[in-house]
A = this chain, B = another copy of it.
């Protein structure tokens, strides 16, 4: 498994070879994040639970492609803003444990502030 650090370096090398840093202000990069997340979502639109189950098996590669696009922009933005996103995720996971205690949250899709 290639790790995040190496993949980030490749993303940045790819970008810098094309002299694209000039376009990568956080606002426009965040637009990419949203638009690529939208492309993931589009795969599932109008589909029933049963249709989705079938679809995700048959279109695993395409969906993986779109998820990779989202990850691409997460890593690029994290790099540019000097954010250690894995550390941020770890911290988040700890916070979530507190926001959603098992005994309160079990089996419910209620937002923490309404639990």
Q: Pick 17 A–B contacts, CB within 8 A, sort by A.
A: A2-B87, A3-B4, A7-B86, A14-B97, A18-B102, A22-B107, A23-B46, A31-B45, A34-B41, A40-B77, A47-B109, A61-B88, A64-B81, A68-B88, A70-B70, A71-B85, A72-B92
Residue on B with the closest CB to A41? B30
Q: Smallest CB–CB gap between A21 and chain B, Å?
A: 10
Number of interface residues of A (CB under 8 A): 74
Contact residues of A: prevailing secondary structure: helix
Instruction: Indicate if the CB atoms of A78 and B67 lie closer than 8 Å.
Output: yes
Residue on B with the closest CB to A4? B4
The proximity string for A residues 33-67 relative to B, scoring 1 for CB distances below 8 Å and 0 otherwise, is 11111101111111101001000100011011101
